[in-house]
Amino acid sequence: MRLEVPRLHALIFIGRLDAPELAGLAPLDRLVHTAAAAGCRRVHLAGARAAEAFSRLQERTRAAVAVAPVGPAEEAAGVVDDLAREPRVLVLHGDVAIDPPSLRTFLDRAAAARGVGAVVAVREGPAPRHPAAATLTMAGRPAHTVGLAVVPGEAAAVVAPAEDGATPLFAQLAREHESGAVALQAVHGALPCLVDDAGRAAVEAALVRAAGKETDGFVSRLFNRRISGAVTRLLLAGRVAPNTITFALLGLGVLTGLILLEGSHAAVVVGTLLYQINSTLDGCDGEIARVRFETSRFGAWADTLSDQVTNLAFFVALPLGLYRRTGDPVHFALAVLIVAGVVTLLGAVYVKSRRIGDEAHFSDYGRSIARAFAPGSFAARAIATVSTFLRRDSYALLFFVLALAGADAFIVYLIAAGVLVHFASIALPARGRQELDA
């Protein structure tokens, strides 16, 4: 069961308006975007400098959420009265760093907590040096609030902060917990946390890690995302646009194909290396877009176009290059087969995935087939495993290793076999997330 999102407020306590950017966004801008992405539709800024913060947000932030300033004393009275009529209110401190999925998870857990005074997020470990942090006892061990809570609407009277942005709310919740009136909900992992200057780099790294995709294969999770995450953090500092990276990778894919057409073994080694680099860095544009809340339909389709052009350039140029080197007509025939197969498959996957959901989702195609079978069944596990190995992060690395071993022709045979396996998948049933949620 979920909270009634249209009735949910997010009160963001203003921290330092001059705080350094966090992963390419001002902290307050990031928090407003996060609240909107997690389902909040009304955000009130509470604090002595709320009007100034609201003015800045109007200039910089286009989040799909209504934002209203709440000043201290008499200016806040009307909003506090309004909030008192709400069943529950989400409260975040302005210095909290959290990604939308973690916030949605917290809201789901808070919605499941019945008959409690409030639900607060806590972490164990060293106490944050922050006015929104308070120490309490959880399971006999000390824990600390991290500036995130869901409280009853009538508790909104305690949100009016002092002039320096401090608030007694979390300290009061800690005291009430010690008396048995508050239920705690711990959010595990790197997020959320209160950001200070010393821990800023670690928090940015955690935000980038949280921007990985659910459809990542095991090579991406274990290897590629570690490299792309480090590159992403450098690009965030340089304010590089996600689409710039997408089209740069598209150019790299075309260059890979041109190198492979030369046909020599050295060209195959260099081409497969560039293909592996392309696969590794392919996560950067999406990571930046998700971390900076710059995702768009155009960006998603540009990324898909870049991926498919890169794949097609590699799949076609490699056998044609070998044909130029050896003169073996089998290599030319395989090139024709692969081109015809890939083009046909793209059309078939597009049509089928459009039937599953609202739009084509090539990266989720294998999982959509696995979901059509009983959860945990042999068929579901087998398809999920095979689809993992058929992702580009897996076979790009394999191709590079084979090229180093001198097995150039074997790579072509593997590509042709992969095309045939994908043709077999078209006959299998598939289900989208919408069907499972219905």
Interval 396-420 mean pLDDT:
92
For 299, the token pair is 């960006």
C-beta atoms surrounding 157 within 10 Å: 13
Instruction: Examine the pLDDT at 65 and tell me if it is beyond 70.
Output: no
Three-class SS of residue 330?
helix
**Which residue reads 């309004």 in tokens?**
82
**Higher local confidence (pLDDT), 331 or 345:** 331
C-alpha span between 412 and 418 (Å, rounded): 10
Interval 386-415 mean pLDDT:
89
Average pLDDT value over all residues in the chain: 79
Q: What is the DSSP letter of 221?
A: I
For 145-178, the pLDDT digits (tens) are 888 888 877 666 555 554 444 456 788 788 877 8
Interval 106-115 mean pLDDT:
78
**Which residue reads 């995450």 in tokens?**
229
Q: What is the DSSP letter of 139?
A: T
C-beta atoms surrounding 90 within 10 Å: 25
Instruction: Examine the pLDDT at 256 and tell me if it is beyond 90.
Output: yes
**How many Å separate Cα 53 from the centre of its chain?**
27
Nearest to 309 by CA among 251, 263, 224, 368: 251
List of residues 6+ apart from 160 with CB closer than 8 A: 46, 72, 73, 76, 80
Instruction: Examine the pLDDT at 232 and tell me if it is beyond 90.
Output: yes
For 309-341, the pLDDT digits (tens) are 999 999 999 999 999 999 999 999 988 888 888
**Which residue reads 């940015």 in tokens?**
204
Residue pair 46/14 in contact (Cβ under 8 Å)? The answer is yes
C-beta atoms surrounding 436 within 10 Å: 11
- The pLDDT score that the predictor gives to residue 67 is 62
C-alpha span between 386 and 389 (Å, rounded): 5
For residues 295-323, b (16+ Cβ closer than 10 Å) or e, as one string? Answer: eeeebbebbbebbbbbbbbbbbbbbbbbb
For 370, the token pair is 């696995």
Least confident of 212-216, 270-274, 287-291, 380-384: 212-216
Residue pair 387/246 in contact (Cβ under 8 Å)? The answer is no
Best mean pLDDT range from 34-38, 153-157, 362-366:
34-38
Interval 376-403 mean pLDDT:
82
Instruction: Examine the pLDDT at 360 and tell me if it is beyond 80.
Output: no
**Which residue reads 């003015």 in tokens?**
55
List of residues 6+ apart from 43 with CB closer than 8 A: 9, 10, 11, 12, 32, 35, 36, 65, 66, 67, 68
C-alpha span between 400 and 126 (Å, rounded): 45
Classify residue 357 as exposed, middle or buried by CB count within 10 Å of its CB (0-12, 13-18, 19+): middle
Residue pair 149/121 in contact (Cβ under 8 Å)? The answer is yes
